[in-house]
A = this chain, B = another copy of it.
């Protein structure tokens, strides 16, 4: 594969990555990589009574402290009933604190407790270690491409959310 021709045809070279076979390989790469991506936190969580949904909630509460339930809902893309079940256990277990809004008292602002931050750290350490390894192995140019393709693959609203988090994060 990789065509073999001595890189003469410009169009041939620049469109090769759009063949069905290349697209299929991209699809499979996403599938297998996502498995690796979630494997480490999943292992940690399986010992406790928590799952991937708890991880996601903890991640984004840590990322945007004081976020409202509604906001978190739109980030995670699940129903409030589904999120509520997760949030309730996290609050009961003392990992998340829910404070009534100062201005709008209907809103609940979510924060991690010290204990919650400790778990977040533990989970994200594992996940970042894998990401760091992958980034290091692949090199900076590859990482830029990785981010570019992933961003192009998101739905519009998700891309917007993603970029808002990026701005606030750094």
Contacts and interface: CB of A to CB of B under 8 A. Distances in A.
A56 to B, nearest CB: 7
Contacts of A28: 63, 162, 165-166
Contact of A147 (B26, B39, B137, B140): B26
Interface residues of A, number: 66
Contacts of A135: 17-18, 22-23, 26, 149, 152
A83 interface: no
B138 A145 contact: yes
Looking at A20, A138, A155, A166, the one whose CB has the most chain B CB atoms below 10 A away is: A138
B14 A140 contact: yes
B158 A32 contact: yes
